[in-house]
Amino acid sequence: MMAKRTDLEEPSRRVPTWSRRDFLAVTAGAGLVGIAACGKPKTVNPVQQIAEGFANGETTVVPAATLEPLNGADGSVVVPAAGTAPSLVVSRRDGKVQAFLNLCTHAACPLVAGSDGTIRCHQDCGHGSVYSAEGEVVRGPSLRPLFRLQSSSEDGGALKVKLKIANG
Ligand code: FES
């Protein structure tokens, strides 16, 4: 009787096979690196690393003119980068203004202001995550809220933003 062909038999779908020796060598090496680093294995999230690279603790001020679209209305605006500062997204919901890194937490694509008050991953990325004005995930694939920054309103309507992740 002829054996049934499976997907795993096609070269393009073949799963690499490891010998027992290869497997033990790699897992032992990874274990030693983890133990040497801090005593237990640590998972590194590359998007978190990018965010932490932007969040250098410096303070930036978003001018009132940039925030004009939010005067008296809920929604969000994208704030272009000035100097060495990262670009931001500032949103307003029920009078509460918040600033976020302009970085989708799924795979670090830029964000855009949605016309419905949401914050959306840029369409060129093709993944489609959507966040609320509070930075919470409304639709995935993203699983993590936006990187919120410490911010406070200034006299004259400007927003002072400290580049420090407040929900990290
Ligand atoms: S990078 Fe934003 S949804 Fe994938």
Quickly list DSSP for 82-113. -TTSPPEEEEEETTEEEEEES--TTT---EEE
d(CA 22, CA 27): 9
Nearest C-alpha neighbor of 113 from the set 78, 71, 148, 144: 78
| Prediction pTM value | 0.74
Domain boundaries, the chain: 47-165
Per-residue confidence (pLDDT) for residue 83, from 0 to 100:
72
Q: How far is the CA of 3 from the centre of ligand 1 (A)?
A: 42
Which class does domain 47-165 fall in?
A: mainly beta
Q: How far is the CA of 121 from the centre of ligand 1 (A)?
A: 6
Q: How far is the CA of 94 from the centre of ligand 1 (A)?
A: 27
Ligand 1 is surrounded, with C-beta below 6 A, by: 104, 106-107, 109, 121, 125, 127-129, 141-142
Residue whose pair of structure tokens reads 């801090």 in the numeric block: 38
Query: Which of 142, 146, 147 is the best mutation target for the ligand 1 pocket, counting ligand atoms within 8 Å of the beta carbon and taking the most?
Result: 142
Element (H, E) at 31: helix 20-38
Mean pLDDT value of segment 11-25: 39
Burial grade of 134 (CB within 10 A; 0-12, 13-18, 19 or more): middle
- Residue-wise pLDDT for 40-93, tens only, equals 667 778 999 999 988 889 999 999 999 999 988 889 999 988 776 789 999 999
**Cβ atoms of residues 119 and 113 within 8 Å:** yes
Q: How far is the CA of 109 from the centre of ligand 1 (A)?
A: 6
